[in-house]
Amino acid sequence: SAPAVFSVGSAPTPTRMPLLQLLNYIDGRPVASRSTARTEVVDPATGEAYASAPDSGEADVDAAMTAALAAFNSFKRTTPSQRQGFLLKIASAIEAHADELARLECKNCGKPFLLTLDEEIAAAVDQIRFFAGAARQLEGRAAGEYMEGLLSMIVREPVGVCAAVTPWNYPLMMAVWKWAPALAAGNTVVLKPSDTTPVSTLRMAELMGAILPSGVFNVVCGRRETGRLLVEHAVPSLVSITGSVRAGREVAASAAPLLKRVHLELGGKAPVVVFADADLETAAADIAVAAYFNAGQDCTAATRVVVEAAAYETMVALLAREAEQNTKLGSATTMDSEGVLVGPLNSRAQLERVKGFFDRLPPHARVVAGGRPAGGRGFFFEPSVVAGLRQEDEMVQEEIFGPVITVQPFADEAAAVAMANGVQYGLASSVWTSDHARALRCCRAFDFGTVWVNTHIPLVAEMPHGGFKQSGGGKDLSAYGFEEYTRVKHVMSKL
């Protein structure tokens, strides 16, 4: 039988199956929206609508916030060991439903099934278990007599109700990155998934609801206006978003009147700096995977390659070979096949956006692989490589969010650093070289929150993820990410 957050409605027609009717999840149960507005949810691999989600309004957001606030009053009193127990049970429930959740994620996002199961669902389970442990490991300054006769101590407390807005590229995992540290610290959550990808989040909420007290975790579906209502509501003390720079600016502006804390994980334009002394064949193969994973729809994707001039043409040729011969592009009927790396883009709008970059290419640019939609059903775009670009070009400066690698030459180390840092973003980067001292100099010079050396894109729960400049502020994952969802109180007592 279908999960309670889904119901079958809208009678089938000769050309269309009935749509799943999605419900919000508020106060421990699926709830119909008080708004009559709906949004269609489309399978990107086929281009066909298969579900309908609420476009929630003020009454829905208010109901979720009321439930979260009521739950916070008791949940904040739970002990770290109790919260750890909740998270461990949730991790086990998600693990037990891994195949189901992966299927939902793949249909909603167009992802390759085997990769999603191994690289995303398993990782999300591990991250929940990390935060379950972190719940019992908060650290602070030692209590002490910093003034004679007065004992001072530090108390870390939950901040309150947290409003979270998640993106469409990794819906389930990005939701975990927000609710897991928030709940581990004793907060409650109201989360809005992207309007194009709400399905896996709703099913996860239902699994969580069987374990958590009512109202601790709530999901409200909707478009941008629903997100604005979440952010501007009087209840949340913290707002966390993963999304574009534009979305981050809007959230920060909406949160400003009430001076709410904001946690922003925004866009990226990761430089991949390759020196001539690197193992070029290995680098090209690894870079292609890091660039084309999730169809390049990743803010850390290795899509901006900067190569020492002596190795430039060799690297261009190697990357073109990876794109054309060694990168398996899926189709509407092959997304379950072994070896498929590149699925469709999220939506027709995203497909047109990526295509637009190619329509506007300057005359000096050279498309050496791909460069066009794959054709057929769905929103597939060919794995692409573009050479001959200059630092000021749109493809170099703006986040494409598609399976597109750009390649630029540099003259020396100083030029490489300048080109790497010469964008508005500061999320992630990598350097490829056999010279250890050079690698460390680049790590020091790169203005990015993560620097990988001779690899690109691996993440672990124990280490922080977050950027500088227009890539936002705050950290996800790690103990640093956990602390984002706490506040510090000084208690002083007379002896």
Buried b (16+ CB within 10 A) or exposed e, 84-97: bebbbbbbebbbeb
Assigned token pair, 474: 């705050």
Quote the CA–CA distance of 396 and 393 in Å, as a whole number. 5
Q: Give the separation between CA 341 and CA 329, rounded to whole angstroms.
A: 6
Tell me whether residue 69 is exposed, middle or buried, using C-beta atoms within 10 angstroms of its C-beta: 0 to 12, 13 to 18, 19 or more: middle
Q: What is the C-alpha to C-alpha distance for residues 101 and 303, in angstroms, rounded to an integer?
A: 29
- Pick the closest to residue 72 from 488, 388, 485, 495 (CA basis): 485
Catalytic-residue membership of 265 = yes
Rounded to whole angstroms, how far apart are CA atoms 242 and 169? 10
Residue from 172, 154, 189 nearest 108 by CA: 172
DSSP 64-79: HHHHHHHHHHHHTTS-
d(CA 152, CA 142): 9
End-to-end Cα separation, the chain, in angstroms: 63
Catalytic residue among 265, 308, 322, 399: 265
Measured distance CA(375)–CA(154) in Å, rounded: 60
For the record, the structure tokens of 215 come out as 């109202």
CA distance 323 to 84: 44
299 is catalytic: yes
* CB contact at 8 A, 401 and 408: no
d(C-alpha 72, C-alpha 371), whole Å: 50
Catalytic residue among 162, 221, 299, 442: 299
Catalytic residues: 265, 299
